[in-house]
Amino acid sequence: MNEENRPGNGLLKVGIIGTVVAALCCFTPVLVILFGVVGLSAMVGYIDLVLFPALGVFILLTIYALWRKSARDAAASDGKRT
């Protein structure tokens, strides 16, 4: 099966994209500027209550997807040997 069409790759893509977006919003003023432009600057104080847990969830999701992919690859290589 093609590497891009494997069923588990969607979970890995979601984890990586979510981690990058959450990290970008946590460590740069992108979200603060966006909230100011939209008129939600009163919510800026509560951003960390959402972003840090989201960053942790996406990092854990990425680790889980990588672990699952490595286990599946190991099982596939064991199946080819026998």
Q: What is the pLDDT of residues 20-59, one digit of tens each?
A: 999 998 888 888 898 899 998 898 888 889 999 999 999 9
- The torsion angles phi and psi of 58, rounded to 5 degrees, stand at -70, -35
pLDDT (0 to 100) of residue 55: 93
Neighbouring C-beta atoms of residue 47, cutoff 10 Å = 15
Token pair, residue 58, equals: 């996406």
pLDDT tens for residues 6-24?
666 898 999 999 999 999 9
Q: Name the E strands within the chain.
A: none
